[in-house]
Every structure is written in structure tokens, then in C-alpha cells.
């Protein structure tokens, strides 16, 4: 059996068994470091993925975004500069905007903390 397929470079230099053993050990070390990540972010990420909560959070995030668009559309019908009570923004709409803002901030902070590369996560939008 040969590790060469269609005149490609061999995967390991079989003439040097110590070289092949070292390469195999390096590969095992890489796999072990992947599994040994014990940070809080990796724990939360695995927990969310294993319980399929991350998919539910994405659906919830879409629903929250839709509600944000609705509140923005409703907000455009009111004029806060007008002193009359007729066009003043209702307190319920203000409260809804604040609640949606905090939900979106929590979602961003959660996914920021569990992202592998936080700098790329900030600039990914």
C-alpha cells in the first residue's frame, strides 16, 4: 500500500519513521488542544450548540428585529417637538423601544463573549 496517489507528494516520508511518528504526534497534539479549551466562552458556546439554543436565539433575534422595525415605523407618526398632546410619543412606545434595545444589547454581548475572534465579530456587521 502506498500513500502516494497519482504521483502526488507522499503524505509522510516513510523512509524516516521518526519523522512520520513526530507528524502523527503533532496532529494528535492539535486535536487535543482543540478539545481541551476550557474557557467560559467555549463552555457557553458548546452548551448553546448542544441544547440547540443558539438556533432559537437567532429566531428570537429575527423576531425582535421585526418588532424594532414596527416600533420605528410607529415612532415616525409622532412628533416630539410638537407641544400638543395629540402628537406626543406614548410612554408605552418609549418603554417598548427601551426593552427592545436592552434585549438587542444582551444578544450582542452574549455573542460577542462566545465568539472565537472578538475583533472580527465587531467588524463582521
Q: What pLDDT, on a 0 to 100 scale, did the predictor assign at position 35?
A: 53
- Residue-wise pLDDT for 5-31, tens only, equals 566 565 555 566 666 666 666 666 555
Place of cell 417637538: 81
Alpha helices in the chain (DSSP H): 17-35, 40-50, 53-75, 91-114, 118-122
Give the chain's mean pLDDT: 77
Put residue 2 in one of left, alpha, beta given phi > 0 → left and psi -120 to 50 → alpha: beta
Q: Is 19:12 a contact under the CB 8 Å cutoff? A: yes
Cα–Cα dist 86/84, whole Å? 5
Which of the pair, 124 or 92, is modelled with greater confidence? 92
User: C-alpha cell of 61?
Assistant: 433575534
Q: Report the percentage of the chain scoring pLDDT > 90.
A: 22
pLDDT exceeds 80 at position 93: yes
Q: What pLDDT, on a 0 to 100 scale, did the predictor assign at position 20?
A: 63
pLDDT exceeds 90 at position 102: yes
Query: What pTM did the predictor assign?
Result: 0.60
pLDDT exceeds 70 at position 121: yes
What is the band of 99 on the pLDDT scale with cuts at 50, 70, 90?
A: very high
User: C-alpha cell of 56?
Assistant: 432559537
- Residue-wise pLDDT for 66-88, tens only, equals 999 999 998 888 877 776 777 78
Amino acid at each position: 500500500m502506498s500513500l502516494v496517489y497519482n504521483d502526488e507528494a507522499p503524505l509522510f516520508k516513510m523512509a524516516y519513521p521518526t519523522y512520520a511518528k513526530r507528524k502523527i504526534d503533532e496532529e494528535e497534539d492539535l486535536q487535543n488542544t482543540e478539545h481541551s479549551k476550557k474557557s467560559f466562552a467555549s463552555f457557553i458556546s458548546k452548551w448553546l450548540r448542544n441544547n440547540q439554543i443558539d438556533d432559537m436565539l437567532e429566531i428570537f433575534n429575527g423576531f425582535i428585529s421585526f418588532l424594532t422595525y414596527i416600533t420605528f415605523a410607529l415612532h415616525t407618526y409622532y412628533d416630539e417637538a410638537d407641544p400638543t398632546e395629540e402628537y406626543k410619543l406614548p410612554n408605552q412606545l418609549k418603554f417598548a423601544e427601551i426593552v427592545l434595545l436592552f434585549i438587542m444589547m444582551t444578544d450582542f454581548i452574549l455573542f460577542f463573549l462566545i465568539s472565537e475572534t472578538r475583533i472580527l465579530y465587531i467588524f463582521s456587521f
